[in-house]
Every structure is written in structure tokens, then in C-alpha cells.
Chains A and B, each alone.
Chain A
Amino acid sequence: MSDIASDVIEIIAKKKRVEKPTVELTDRLDALGLESLDAVEMIFDLEEKFDIEIPYNANTNNPRTEFGTVGEVVSAIEKIVANKKS
């Protein structure tokens, strides 16, 4: 697992609202019980961790449906981080 993946998993694990010992790349965000404010906090944590900007408006974006799984969040972050370096 990449460093980014383990960092993202750590951040999402703090926000989940279901009893589950570990967060996997295949876990669905909605199944982890993230609520609207959890999503806003998760995005902040991701921005802080990777020093990136994630355009996100809670009125028009819904991470629970835009990103099906934890793995999709990881891919999105990897892409933003790669763009930032180039």
C-alpha cells in the first residue's frame, strides 16, 4: 500500500461512524456512515496532510456519492499530489 493510501485510510478511519476494526480500500464511504460535516472535516484533514486544495462545496458536492470507495479517494488524492509536483 502507498504512503498516500495509508494516510487517507488513517484520516477516513477517524471520521467513520460504524463499528469496523479496519478501513479497507474497497470500503464504500456511505457504508462507513460519514455525515455531511464529517466529509467537510475529512476534506480539511486531507488538504492539511498533503498541502493541497480540494475544490468542494457542500451544497453541490457529495463525497459519499462522488467517491464510491476509499480507494477512489486515494486515486483522486494521488492525482492532485502528482499534479502539484509537476
Chain B
Amino acid sequence: MTDVNRVVVTGLGTISPLGHTTASYWDSVKQGISGIGPITLVSTPEQLTQKVAAEVKNFDPLRHFEERELSTLDRISQFAVVAAREAIIQAGITFDIPLSLRTATIIGTGVGGQTTLDESFRRLYVEKKSRVFPLTIPKVMVNAPASQISMFCGLRGPAFAVASACASATHAIGLAFQMLRSGAVDCAVAGGAEACITFGTLRGWEAMRVMAPDTVRPFSKDRKGMVLGEGAAMLILEPLERARARGATILGEIVGFGMGADAADLTAPDKDGMARAMENALADAKLAPSDIQYVNAHGTGTAANDQTETQALHQVFGAHAGKLGVSSTKSMIGHALGAAGALELVATLMSIRESVMPPTIGYLGRDPACDLDYVPNEARVANIDAALSNSFAFGGLNAVLAVKKFT
């Protein structure tokens, strides 16, 4: 591939249950620290069956925003803007008018401004008030994180939200990658944000009967399901030539994107759909399965996902599957739905950069249906030239990114 078509990462921003910066997040992920704990964001936790989640802890919005600004920002958009600012500062980019017109803002979210929605409905249905706050609608809308980043950071190019539930961020980053590769834009802020730990959302997840009561144990025997998380991660993507010309530090390279739909069940995972997305990503990247050393799995911790994802990995990688390191970052940060793919891609890029495979924590032992190397409980030093980051959503929507060490 000529340098003209190469797309590199020059900035990362993260706000997560394991820290409010990329450095603190990655440091904890590497150490295998759990971000899961008792739910504090809900005012009536005693009314919930689910007692744990992976919350972003000690987040004080006034450290990042003026009080006046906060009346326009749901928690999800606060996360989005904070993470985007960190990524832009790291990239060292100044968006003058010509560049800002050619910079895309593509942000994945599964469910949008749930905190605002929950508060508004509580006022109406519980407190019997007759009106809600004036900016309820523009705080709730799923494009709010993308719009707020574009406004706070002065980005005037194509900007929109991508919604594909648990694959939203991966689809968003994949689209930004394609737009850069095709020359449609010169820079992109892409990622995902979610702030879904509200009474109503948790009740909804409880009703699916897929939540683990204690903690999430992806790919492990005796796993009991998933745990909800939240946060945001943003990437600055640029064409290699541009990044080189301005002397940017290059953090990694995105080399392929694969997506597809199961056209099958609303919630049940589909081995063939997962496999097709991985195969599409490899083909797009012009990589052979044997070129991959590490897969950051979707790994939700449900009985069905982990078994099916394991089967899909066998299908795609054949005998090489046994040589892969496969780990689930969700074991530490829970499932942040529309932000998950971005948080996990940050972990994947950092693992390549530092030659460390992050672990799958909470692993109690082998489930016969999950027979790969899940890097159980402790990180592992290992050279990684190329990796995949998997996201598979409810609704049967699959997205996989292929990334490489930048050389």
C-alpha cells in the first residue's frame, strides 16, 4: 500500500472506570485491575436487582466545564468532549479553518443521553411535575456527543453519530478510517461515548436476564453474564503523509475494517456473522490470519457470546487460533455499549505499542466450550505486529478493526 492510503493514529483520549486519562486507563488495564463496584449513580439502588456496574468514578464535571456549559451537556457528552480534548492535545493539532473544514467527527453511541431522559421521565411520572428542563431534547439526542465535540473543538467537517448498539464505536472509527483512506477528509476525531448507568436502563438490562450478579468473567467457567459500564474513548486519525509532515508521534496504524449483519436473531450471537466481519477486516487489511498475534475480543461474559465468539475465532483462524492471545477488556471495564469498541481499540493500540497483552481478569478456569488462550488474569509480555478488535452488537451488527504496529 502506498503511503497515500495509510491511516495512522496520532492522539488518544479516554475516560473510563479505570481512570480519566488514557495513561491511567491503560496502566490499570495492564495491571488487570477491576473497575467494577457497587452502583452509586442511581438514587434508588435498593429498587434494583443488579447491584454492580463499572462506573466512571469521581468525575467532577466542573473540573472540565463552566457551570453554564453543563446545562447543555448530558453525562455522555461530557465524557465525549473530555476524551476528545485529551486526544487533540496529545496529537498536538491546531484546527485552523482550512483543516477544521476537512476534519470529520464520527462518534458512536448506543443509547444517547440516558441520564437526562431518566431524570425527565422521573419528573413527569414520579414527581408529577408538568414540565421538563428546556434542553432535554438536545441533551438526549444520540448525535449530541458528536455535535458537542464539533462545537467545543471547532470541527466543521462531516459530523454525525453512528448507532449500532455495542458495535457503535467500532463502526464509527471504521467509517472515519474509510473516509481518510479515500481522501474524503484530512483528519478525523472518531470514537464512542456512553453513560447508560441509570435506573431505567439498568431495569431494561435486568429484564434481558443476562446480567452477572457479582462480576463479569469472560470466557471463564461459571461465568454468569455481563456487567454494564460507561465512559468514552476518542482517537485522532490522519493520513500518514500528513502526520509525518507535521512531525506527529504516530501511535499505531489502522489497516482494515470489516463489517456485516447476521440477518438472523435479534439477540443471539451468530458464529458465521462474527467470522465474516473478522474475515472482511483481514481481507481489507491484506493480512493473513497467521499475521495476527492478538485479538481484543468482544468477550461480554455471557454464556452465548463467549462460546460463539470462540467458535468464530476457530473458523477464521483455523490451527492458528490456538496461538492467538485473546482477551476481553470488558473483564475490567464492563460493557460500555456504544463506547466499548473505542475503549477496547485504545487498549489494543497500547498493547501493540508496549508489547503487552492485557489480561482477561476474573477467570476461574476453563470452560470446555471456550478453549483458546484468553491471557487469564495476568498481562503477558508479547510482541504484537498486528491485532483485531471485535465488536458484535444486538441486532446482529458486527464490526471488526485490524490494526498494526507502525513501522
> Which A positions have Cβ atoms within 8 angstroms of B?
35-37, 40, 43-44, 56-61
Contact = CB atoms under 8 A, between A and B. Distances in A.
B266 A37 contact: yes
Interface in B296-355: 302-304
Contacts of A43: 209
Contacts of B304: 36, 59
Given A40-B208, A43-B209, A44-B207, A59 B267 contact: no
Contacts of A56: 209
B210 interface: yes
Given A40-B209, A43-B209, A44-B207, A57 B225 contact: yes
A31 B365 CA distance: 33
Interface residues on B, range: 10 to 19
13 contacts: A36-B268, A36-B304, A37-B265, A40-B207, A43-B209, A57-B209, A57-B210, A57-B213, A58-B303, A59-B210, A59-B212, A59-B224, A59-B302
Given A35-B268, A58-B209, 20 more contacts: A36-B267, A36-B304, A37-B266, A37-B267, A40-B207, A43-B209, A44-B207, A57-B213, A57-B224, A57-B225, A58-B208, A58-B225, A58-B302, A59-B212, A59-B223, A59-B224, A59-B225, A59-B303, A60-B224, A60-B225
Contacts of B207: 40, 44
Contacts of B208: 40, 58
A58 to B, nearest CB: 4
B303 A60 contact: yes
